[in-house]
Amino acid sequence: MGRLIRLPMQRRARSERLAPPRAVIVSASVGAGHDAVAAELAARLEEAGVAVDRYDFLDLLPGPAGGILVGSYHRMLDRAPWTWKLLYGSLDNHRMMSMQATLFTALAGRRMRRVVADEDVRIVVSTYPLASQVLGRLRRRGKVTKRVHTYLTDFSVHRLWASPDVDAHLAVNRIPAEQARGIGCRNVSVIAPLVDRRFTPATDRLRHAARARWGLPQDARLALLVGGSWGAGELERTVSDVEAADPGLTCLVVCGRNEPLRERLLAAGVRHAFGWVDDMPSLMHAADVLVQNAGGMTVQEAVASGLPVITYRSIPGHGLTNAAALDEAGVARWVRHPGELAEALDQAACQGRGAVPSVASVPSATASAVLSLPAGDAARVLLEAAGLGHLAAAVPAAAAVPAVPAVQAQAAVAVAVASVPASAAAAAPTVMESVR
C-alpha cells in the first residue's frame, strides 16, 4: 500500500546505484532464543553494510493464530509438560511433519512470499523451524527464488527443523550437524554460535563488578539457575536439590517472565530471585556454575563466558534431546538423578572459574589447539553464499575459544572443534580426531 510503481528496469537500476543488499531474517517470539540469534545475526550483517529486515513468524500468521500457537505451547510447558512431550514425539515422523508444513504454508505462505519478494533481497534466513518449513515449501514451488538458509538454534535437531527444500543449514556443533544430515537436511555447515559479544570470560575485575552490581557477596560460591525466558520447568525443586547437594552454594534464580514463580521463591526464602534480566552477561560473570534445563541459547552464552554448565531436571521434548546432545558433545554434563548432583557441582567448582587463567595454566599442546582453531562466522558464510564476499571482510573474525583450566581443556577443545567449518577441519585432522 502506498508504494510507487516502477518499471522493472528502473527499479533494478535504482537498486544497483543506491540501495544496499538486503537480508530477510524470520524468527519467532517463542521463548527468547530464536529472536536472540536473529538480533545478533542482524547486527553482524549490518556491520557489513547489509540492510536487514526482521520478521516474527507469529505476525505472519493470520488474525490471532500466532498468539494461539505460542499460548498453547506455553500452557503445555507450564501446566501439562507431558502433553508437549507427546506432541514433540508425534511430530518426529515424515507424515506428521508434512501435514504441519502444509498447514502453516497455507496460513503464512502468502505473507512470507511478500516479505522476501523484493529484488534487492539477497539473503533469506530462518531461525525458527515452522518458518523454515514454510520457506522450504515455497522454494520447492518456485514461489521463493532466493537461496534460503536455516540457522539451527537448538543443540539437538528435531524433524520439525528438517525441510528438504531449504538450500542450506547452519549448525553450532558437529553433534547437531550430524543429526541434521541424518534427517535429510541439505548442505549443513558448522559455524561458531551467534552470541552477543558481551558474553566474555570473567576477569577478576569483571567478577567483582558484577557481584557488586547485583548486590551479591564477593566471597560466596554462586550457582545460576535458569529456565528460559518463561521460567519453565521444575525450578523450585532444582533450588531445593542444589541447596541440599551443596549447602555452601548460593542460588541465583532467573525466572524470566514468570512472576508467580519469582514471588513463590522469594516467599520461600530465596534471596536472589530475579525476573526478566537484560544484563545476563554480568550475571554469568558473577556466577560459578550454570544449572539449566532446556539447552537453548543460555548454554551457548555460558560457553562464551567460560561458565561451567550442568543440565538438570530437563523440560520434556527438546529439553531432553538437547540435554543428551550437550552431554555427548562434552559441553554440559547431564545430571539425570539428584544423587549425581553433588558430584557434578563439585566438579564444576574444581574448574576454577575465579579469573581467566593464563595459557600457562593449560598444557601447552592443548592450549595451542584451543587458541588456534578457526571458527566459521555465520554472517560471512551467508554473505559468501549470496555472492557478497566483498562485504565479508567487514565482519570481524569469530573469536578464538579462550584458554581454560586444564580440567576443562578436553571440553573446550571439543567446543572449539565443533565451530570449525568443513574446509578448516580438513587442515587439522590430528586435533579433530583427538577430540572425537
- What does pTM read for this prediction? 0.81
CA atoms within 13 A on the CB side of 315: 26
pLDDT confidence of residue 8: 53
The yes/no answer on whether domain 8-190 falls in CATH 3.30.310 is no
Q: Are 39 and 67 in contact (CB under 8 A)?
A: no
192: DSSP letter: -
The span from the CA of 172 to the CA of 149, in Å, is 14
Secondary element (H or E) of residue 135: helix 129-140
Average pLDDT over residues 187-202: 93
> pLDDT class for 41, splitting at 50, 70, 90?
very high
Average pLDDT over residues 369-398: 73
| Residue 159 one-letter amino acid | R
The span from the CA of 227 to the CA of 291, in Å, is 9
The span from the CA of 196 to the CA of 383, in Å, is 20
Is 204-349 the same fold as 8-190?
A: yes
> pLDDT class for 307, splitting at 50, 70, 90?
very high
The span from the CA of 278 to the CA of 283, in Å, is 10
CA-based nearest residue to 418, from 369, 368, 356, 359: 369
The gap between the terminal CA atoms of the chain, to the nearest Å, is 55
Beta strand 148-151 with 168-171 is: parallel
Average pLDDT over residues 322-341: 94
* Most confident of the ranges 66-70, 262-266, 366-370: 262-266
In the predicted structure, residue 147 carries a pLDDT above the cut 60: yes
**DSSP labels for 371-390?**
HH-----HHHHHHHHTT-HH
**Which stretch of 41-45, 67-71, 246-250, 332-336 has the lowest confidence by average pLDDT?**
67-71
Instruction: Give residues with Cβ within 8 angstroms of 367, minimum separation 6.
Output: 359, 403, 409
pLDDT confidence of residue 81: 78
Residues in the chain: 436
In the predicted structure, residue 419 carries a pLDDT above the cut 80: no
pLDDT confidence of residue 97: 75
Task: Return the CATH number of 204-349, one of 3.40.50.2000, 2.60.40.10, 3.40.640.10, 3.30.450.30.
Answer: 3.40.50.2000
In the predicted structure, residue 75 carries a pLDDT above the cut 70: yes
* Look-up of cell digits 549443513: 188
pLDDT confidence of residue 11: 52
Task: Pull the grid cell for residue 404.
Answer: 581454560
CA-based nearest residue to 312, from 342, 296, 335: 335
Task: Pull the grid cell for residue 185.
Answer: 537436511
- Phi, psi for residue 4 in degrees, rounded to 5: -70, 145
Average pLDDT over residues 203-218: 95
Q: Are 253 and 273 in contact (CB under 8 A)?
A: yes
In the predicted structure, residue 267 carries a pLDDT above the cut 80: yes
In the chain, where the domains are located: 8-190, 204-349
Q: Are 78 and 230 in contact (CB under 8 A)?
A: yes
pLDDT confidence of residue 4: 44
pLDDT confidence of residue 389: 86
In the predicted structure, residue 355 carries a pLDDT above the cut 60: no
Average pLDDT over residues 181-194: 91
In the predicted structure, residue 2 carries a pLDDT above the cut 50: no
In the predicted structure, residue 171 carries a pLDDT above the cut 80: yes
Q: Are 318 and 88 in contact (CB under 8 A)?
A: yes
Centre a 10 Å sphere on the Cβ of residue 176 and count the other Cβ atoms it contains. Answer: 26
The span from the CA of 361 to the CA of 416, in Å, is 18
